[in-house]
Amino acid sequence: MTGLQTCSSLVYLVSAVCYVIGVHLMRSPKTARKGNGLSCLGMALAVVMIVVTIIADGKITAAGWTALVAGLVLGILYGVVKARKVKMTDVPQLVSLFNAVGGGAAATIGIFDYLQVANGTHLSLILSIPVVLDVIIGGTTFSGSLIATGKLAGRVSGKPIIFPGGRLCNALSIIAMVVGAVWMIGFPQNYWALVLELVAALVFGLLMTLPIGGADMPVVVSLLNAFTGLAVAFAGFVIDHQVLIIAGALVGAAGTILTLQMAEAMNRSVANILAGGFGGGASDAGAADDVPVNVKETSADDIGLQLAYAHNVMIVPGYGLAAAQAQHEVAELAKLLTDHGINVNYAIHPVAGRMPGHMNVLLADVNVPYEEMKQMDEANSMFENTDVSLVIGANDVTNPMARKSGNAISGMPILDVDKSKSVVIIKRSMHPGYAGIANPLFSDDQARMFFADAKKGLKDIIAAAKQYLDE
């Protein structure tokens, strides 16, 4: 082993350690920022070492250098600009887009290596299996993540998109992938096998994601993230690169664990995701135009009075809170109440927002104590003793329609805010949630609607609460 090889192995080891420790630190909002920074350092070390190795090898052409430098510059610039400019509400679709990029890149590696090696001879199993899996998983992740990005961004309907023969098409795409895999391994000189494999994977990704309802999209994003990690790991096997294998395996394992946990929390089956029927309802029950009409409106002054004389308050954050960037106001309101002896907690649904952990990140950004963020099971046990539940932009995760069959959120565990003594819902309009299901909670006897932008509405509530608390 040369000195450079020894040095590169040590650098890759340090890089891998950074990934492992970084993932561990991301388990808690208190240390997540440090974990992200450490993981970035590990990736930077790996990239620098790769460039040094390429320079020392001296085999890269001028065109290769141009492509490498252009890719690095464009990738770094795009990543930095998007990360600095992206709104909190747009982070989920950005993550989904990055999943698509990762899957596409991994599939490209598999395709390129197949084209380089497939010279008319049979591929060895050691090479062929990673190549085939790279193309399948990378292609599926690419197309599926693009659809998920469109759904999260509102460019594709959040309702389950189901068409006649969808299941049959799913089955045919799976059969095509199996046939393509056997064809690629046995007859590598026939590039139509590669075309069949890639097209089948892309079609499967589309068919898997389109029938999934908006309320279940966070689970899908997590699953596609796991797919991206697996694709990257297999890409590492294809080009024999340890860092890609380790990084991909970590992402794949973490994404898989999160997907299983969220699917269990949502009372969903991961098998249904792969079958293309995840989150799809059997009827149009609770459609978007079936909106409760018997709602009772309230005012900021009345809400302030309720909160001032409450003992236990539960804040239920949702996408509307993130969209209005009102996390600072909700933290200010909570501090005002707690300073006056009122017990305040936050009810966090596993899929509130548009991605796993969306609300946790949002609240951690304004230094909300982590112990005040109650996960769904714990929060549900507290609602009966809650004087006021303040629902801010959360719809699907509080919708009692989930307890009924025949709609897109049937069977999904929800936050039992309807068991509170009083419920205040802050919304800009009566428009249904992301899943397009009307929420009968709005017309409950103990519920009151406050139609306002979350940011402005909370400011008015804070002013009113101060008035009564200072009396």
> What gap in Å lies between CA 471 and CA 41, rounded to an integer?
54
Q: DSSP characters for 440-457?
A: GGGGSTTEEEEES-HHHH
* DSSP class per residue in 11-80: HHHHHHHHHHHHHHHTTSTTTHHHHHHHHHHHHHHHHHHHHHHHHHH----HHHHHHHHHHHHHHHHHHH
Q: Are 304 and 463 in contact (CB under 8 A)?
A: yes
Q: Could you tell me whether strands 373-375 and 447-451 are parallel, antiparallel, or unpaired per DSSP bridges? A: unpaired
Task: Measure CA of the first residue to CA of the last residue in the chain; give whole Å.
Answer: 79
Q: Where are the alpha helices (DSSP H) in 266-357?
A: 270-275, 300-308, 319-323, 327-339
Distance from C-alpha of 419 to C-alpha of 381, rounded to nearest angstrom: 10
The CA distance from 393 to 323, in Å, is 9
Instruction: Note if 396 is an active site residue.
Output: yes
DSSP conformational letter for 297: B
Q: How many residues does the chain have?
A: 471
Helix (H) or strand (E) holding 313: strand 312-317
CA distance linking residue 96 with residue 189, whole number of Å: 35
Nearest to 26 by CA among 291, 282, 258: 258
For residue 33, the tally of other CB atoms under 10 A from its CB is 12
Task: For residue 122, give the DSSP letter.
Answer: P
Task: Evaluate whether 454 touches 321 at the Cβ level (below 8 Å).
Answer: yes
Q: Are 297 and 450 in contact (CB under 8 A)?
A: yes
Q: Are 307 and 389 in contact (CB under 8 A)?
A: no
**Of the listed 113, 134, 216, 396, which one is catalytic?**
396
How far apart CA 220 and CA 204 sit, in angstroms, is 14
Radius of gyration, alpha carbons of the chain? 25
Quickly count: other Cβ atoms within 10 Å of residue 341's Cβ.
8
Burial of 81 (0-12, 13-18, 19+ CB in 10 A): exposed
DSSP structure class, residue 241: -
Q: What is the DSSP letter of 287?
A: -
Q: Which helix (H) or strand (E) holds 5?
A: helix 3-25
The set of catalytic residues is: 396
